[in-house]
Amino acid sequence: MLKLLSSSSRHLHTHFSSPCLRVAAESAPPAPLLRALGSIAGLTRRGEARTGSRQRLFFCSDSSGGKGGGTLVEVEVKSGDAEADGGVDVTSSSSALMPTNPRPEDYLTVLALPLLHRPLFPGFYMPIYVKDPKLLAALQESKKRQAPYAGAFLVKDEPGTDPSMVSGSESEKSIYDLKGKDLYNRLHEVGTLAQITNIQGDQVILVGHRRLRITEMVDEDPLTVKVDHLKEKPFNKDDDVIKATSFEVISTLRDVLKASSLWRDHVQTYTQHMGDFNFPRLADFGAAICGANKLQCQEVLEELDVYKRLKLTLELVKKEMEISKIQESIAKAIEEKISGEQRRYLLNEQLKAIKKELGLEADDKTTLTAKFRERIEPSRDKIPAHVLQVIEEELTKLQLLEASSSEFNVTRNYLDWLTALPWGNYSDENFDVLRAQKILDEDHYGLTDVKERILEFIAVGKLRGKSQGKIICLSGPPGVGKTSIGRSIARALNRKFYRFSVGGLGDVAEIKGHRRTYIGAMPGKMVQCLKSVGTANPLVLIDEIDKLGRGHAGDPASALLELLDPEQNANFLDHYLDVPIDLSKVLFVCTANVIDMIPNPLLDRMEVIAIAGYITDEKMHIARDYLEKATREACGINPEQVEVTDAALLALIENYCREAGVRNLQKQIEKIYRKIALQLVRKGALIESSVSSEQSDELKEEGAETSTDSAKSGSTKQDNETAEEAEIIQSDGSADQTDSSLNEPSDTKDVKESEKIEESEVTKSVEKVLVDTSNLPDFVGKPVFHAERIYDRTPVGVVMGLAWTAMGGSTLYIETTNVEQGEGKGALHLTGQLGEVMKESAQIAHTVARGILLEKEPENPFFANSKLHLHVPAGATPKDGPSAGCTMITSLLSLAMKKPVRNDLAMTGEVTLTGKILPIGGVKEKAIAARRSDVKTIIFPSANRRDFDELAPNVKEGLDVHFVDDYSQIFDLAFGYDEKDEK
């Protein structure tokens, strides 16, 4: 450690005028600064002092203006003779000093060497690179002539640049390109006389001697300048301020040296090349080894006042001390963080080893194995033998694998899936038919045929004691409740419910799973279902099965065959698990909009239950009992705040929501209630603002009356109290009425209470919103649909037909008119965007109508001599299907016989060339369409009698249905009436 001696007991070492090495005598104590710097150097050379070996020290000549000439001398010092406090005992000889001629101060003209980054201080060496070949040659020539001296000058920064920023390679290159006067103008005036000690290639080693000042330029290439040798200004070496400043510099250097090993190397190098240590050299030493920028160092170099130089150096080393503290704190924080993590890791590893040794904890593989065995233990008896064998083999394989291998993760995931499946775990089913009936009626209105089929399934399960998985396909238009029916069935049977949609599915692996060798492999949907529900007999709803896709990864429809076939799914094989799974107890419910889109092999394995949709009465009940209630609760509206009349609901259904489902009806009801909620909020805000303003006005008036009465009474005390109460009432209009009416009579209170009751009643009456047919368009806009019956009395050549659409059933007119009459001009023209089947039906109808007219009126040549135009309205809508044949025949015959058909008649049916009526589809939808159009008489093919008989009573109610086999029966029904009665 550095030991500073008191200035009162020691004297600073005096300079000799001769530039020779000064060797201390044994009797004279070493100089304090020399001892201090020796102890600084001793921080890094303690180990060397104990070895007793010899060292070679290089000393530079004094720069204080001595007249002797000596530049660099070599002295051998025995390290074992060094004093403990850093003093140096040097044994010199007459040959230790090698003076050189000429002396350094004789050099008044020197080569100018530009320094880019830092100035060169006396007593320090600096390697530089000389890129100019002429300058390098001149330096080599000077060294050969035994005049190895040059001037080292710092280069000024370019104007407008920040000196604190480090210059890049481009700026250095631009400085190397400077020549002659340009370079001369960029050099600082004060520099250092440098001795050229070594030249290797373009690297030149310089050692600083003394300060120089440029006076003028002598030569441009290479740059040669005239210089003046500078000396420090005279100073009092016994000045206490200078001593204190120097000792503070040394003390700060000592603190910095403790934290920075890089500075220790600087001290050791400097003390090896420095002989006499004094105040000026101490200042140069501190500035040279600190990390200050080049302008601050140049300022120290240019300062000739020793005290000012020491102060500048003290500022620099103090800054360096702060930087060292910051560096130490950063290093300490990082070290603590790293050491803390390492310590935690080592402790955790030791804890694992101790627990493993004591048997308190097993390794990861043992823990995983125990977890998998614990999973399968409760149901080990129910797991099939082949599955147990696979699990045991995989567990054995897991123990042999390294935890870091990829195969270990594959095996672990495989065991995770294999042991998580509910092998033999079935939920207890509820076969109570009455309970199931109640649940189905709670969730859905109507759908009698669907509910009967579910109750049949439950009844069979109750008689057998167990249920067998079936595949039910619910087909029908969107919004009729197919998906919600599946959820209700699961609730009625007390089964777990799982739904997944296969709409647009194009990858077989979604159903059958991936192979385990693939990256990111997963089991199929059924395995995921079983793991999710935890039972082996859930109800699985496969949604949108008619929208299966077919991509490059196979045909999912074919993959579903194994899943849905009751003969195969008892041994369903998933590609990921690769073991058979029993799915025979799973109840599959599929949904589809159109069964024609389902592949026939897949459709053959399903039991199709068609849901035609809801009639108007059913939609009314659904809207009242389900949709309106749920929407009212969702919007936060009380039942007493709104009333939607039956007429409004009926108009909403007939004119806005004619589709088979109720999804659009739900949207319209939500739209109505949202607008009602906005109206209620707006009215409530207006009422609140009006009531508050009225209350404030009344309170102000009462306060004024109270103050007037109190003034008349002549009581000063009552005046003050009344005034205070009036101020309180005026400042807070929402205060408690009890406080504001303390001095009021009871009659006034009764009047106010009655007024409040009346206000609340008025508010309730105002808040209630009534929705009827008059203001329904204000909530849902203009009607979308109009009355399908466009004729009060059906004209000649027009007949109403019944059609099936994706939105349910619909009525449409078929119209025929005579375009041109003439001998042999019989022809038929068709319009209405008809499909190929309807075009063929029109040709068949034309042929059959000609035959019937010939039979009924042999002398009528209408078809032979008339060019006819048959049109089906709504020409923008594509139409196709075979069930319009009998309607077209009736329209042609009505025009030919000039006799209209009955007003309340609608018909449907396919006709052959012989006049036979073939069966049609969509019986329920066409019956619903007939009721919607106020049709009383319907003609159906006899083959559809059973379909009509199975319809719900509310669908058949009020309809007069006639079933026919031949068109002759239709002819009698359409035209066999008395015209007088019809009128």
**206 and 258 fall within a common domain:** no
Q: Which of 108-117, 248-257, 430-439, 501-510 has the lowest mean pLDDT?
A: 248-257
Comparing 665-679, 787-801, 930-944, the range with the smallest average pLDDT is 787-801
pLDDT at position 893 is 92
611: its two tokens = 């849901």
Rounded Cα distance between 808 and 549, Å, is 26
> Stretch 867-896: mean pLDDT, rounded?
88
Residue 350 lies in a domain: no
Q: Is residue 911 part of a domain?
A: yes
pLDDT at 978: 63
pLDDT band at 314 (very low <50, low <70, confident <90, very high): confident
Q: Which domain holds residue 976?
A: 798-982
The total number of structural domains that make up the chain: 7
Whether residue 30 is predicted with pLDDT greater than 50 in this model: the reply is: no
Q: Tokens 């407008």, residue?
A: 160
Q: Which of 66-75, 153-162, 400-409, 713-722 comes out lowest in average pLDDT?
A: 66-75
- Catalytic residue (one of 63, 467, 883, 891): 883
CATH number at residue 490: 3.40.50.300
Q: Is residue 97 part of a domain?
A: no
Nearest C-alpha neighbor of 941 from the set 960, 974, 967: 967
Can you give the pLDDT at residue 88?
34
- Whether the pLDDT of residue 33 is over 60: the answer is no
Active site residue 926: yes
**Confidence at residue 333, expressed as pLDDT on a 0 to 100 scale:** 85
* Residue 869 confidence (pLDDT) above 90: yes
Here the tokens at position 821 are 């009459």
Q: At what angle do helices 716-731 and 663-713 cross, to 10 degrees?
A: 160
Looking at residue 739, which CATH number applies to its domain? 1.10.8.60
- 955 in the same domain as 866: yes
How far is residue 196 CA from its own chain's centroid? 67
Which runs of E-coded beta strand occur in 441-570? 471-475, 497-501, 539-543
pLDDT of residue 707: 47
Instruction: Say what the pLDDT of residue 847 is.
Output: 92
Residue partners of 671: CB distance under 8 A and separation at least 6:
779, 780
Give the pLDDT mean for 314-339: 82
231-240, 399-408, 783-792, 855-864: least confident range: 783-792
Residue percentage of the chain with pLDDT more than 90: 9
Give yes or no for residue 684 having a pLDDT over 80.
no
On whether residue 234 sits in a domain, the answer given is: no
Let me know whether 9 and 72 are in one domain.
yes
CATH number at residue 116: 2.30.130.40
pLDDT at 72 over 60: no
pLDDT digits (tens, 9 = 90+) for 236-273: 877 778 888 888 888 777 777 776 666 666 666 555 54
Helix spans in 117-260 (H): 133-144, 169-176, 180-185, 240-259
Q: In this structure, what token pair is assigned to residue 365?
A: 């593989």
**298: domain CATH number?**
1.20.58
Of the ranges 196-200, 671-675, 773-777, which one carries the lowest mean pLDDT score?
Answer: 196-200
Query: In the predicted model, what is the mean pLDDT of the chain?
Result: 75
pTM of the model: 0.55
Segment 71-96 shows an average pLDDT of 35
pLDDT in tens, 38-70: 545 444 444 344 333 333 333 333 333 333 333
User: Above 50 in pLDDT, residue 392?
Assistant: yes
Instruction: Give the mean pLDDT of 716-730.
Output: 37
Q: Is 883 annotated as catalytic?
A: yes
- Give every CB contact of residue 873 below 8 A, 6+ residues apart in sequence: 812, 813, 815, 832
**265-279, 306-320, 453-467, 729-743: least confident range:** 729-743
Q: How confident is the model at residue 80 (pLDDT cuts 50, 70, 90)?
A: very low
Task: Concatenate the DSSP letters of all residues of 285-304 into one string.
Answer: HHHHHS---HHHHHHHHH--
Whether 700 is covered by a domain: the verdict is yes
Q: What is the band of 963 on the pLDDT scale with cuts at 50, 70, 90?
A: very high
Residue with tokens 């003050």: 720
Residue 123 counted as domain residue = yes
Q: What does 653-693 look like in DSSP terms, one character per residue? A: HHHT--SSSSHHHHHHHHHHHHHHHHHHHHHHHHHHHHHHH
Q: How large is the average pLDDT for residues 871-892?
A: 86
Among 451, 879, 926, 933, the one annotated catalytic: 926
Which is nearest to 293 in space by CA: 157, 435, 196? 157
Annotated binding site: 476-483
Position 516 scores a pLDDT of: 86
**Do 369 and 298 fall within a single domain?**
no
- How far apart (Å, rounded) are the C-alpha atoms in residues 809 and 925? 4
In sign, the C-alpha dihedral spanning 399, 402, 407, 409 is positive
- pLDDT computed for residue 798 by the predictor: 92
For residues 884 and 924, membership in a common domain is answered with yes
179 in the same domain as 114: yes
Instruction: Find the CATH number of the domain harbouring 901.
Output: 3.30.230.10
Residues 592 and 624 in one domain: no
pLDDT winner (highest mean) among 403-407, 892-896, 918-922: 892-896
The whole-angstrom separation of Cα 366 and Cα 389 is 19
Q: Is 920 exposed, middle or buried (0-12, 13-18, 19+ CB in 10 A)?
A: buried
**Does residue 345 carry a pLDDT above 80?**
yes
Which residue, of 186, 210, 229, is where some domain finishes?
229
Q: Which of 229, 254, 275 is the last residue of a domain?
A: 229
How many angstroms separate the CA atoms of 790 and 227, rounded?
120
Q: Does pLDDT of 381 surpass 50?
A: yes
Regarding whether 324 and 247 lie in a shared domain, the answer is yes
Most confident range (mean pLDDT) of 20-34, 102-116, 433-447 is: 433-447
Start-to-end Cα distance in the chain: 133
- Average of pLDDT values for 144-162? 78
Per-residue pLDDT tens for 527-576? 999 999 999 889 999 998 988 877 676 788 888 888 888 788 888 888 99
Using the 8-state DSSP alphabet, how is residue 187 labeled? B
State residue 765's pLDDT score: 46
- Assess whether the previous peptide bond of 378 is cis (omega < 30° from 0): no
Question: Which of these three, 47, 68, 90, is where a domain ends?
Answer: 90
* 791: in domain: no
3-state secondary structure of 960: strand
Do residue 878 and residue 905 come from a single domain? Answer: yes
Q: What is the mean pLDDT of residues 583-596?
A: 88
For residue 423, being part of any structural domain is answered with no
Q: Are residues 605 and 623 in the same domain?
A: no
Q: How far apart are CA 861 and CA 896, in angstroms?
A: 9
Q: Which residues sit in the known binding site for ATP?
A: 476-483
Do 546 and 573 lie in a common domain? yes
Rg (CA), the chain: 55
In whole angstroms, what is the distance from residue 612 CA to residue 122 CA?
107
| Residues 496, 634 within the same domain | no
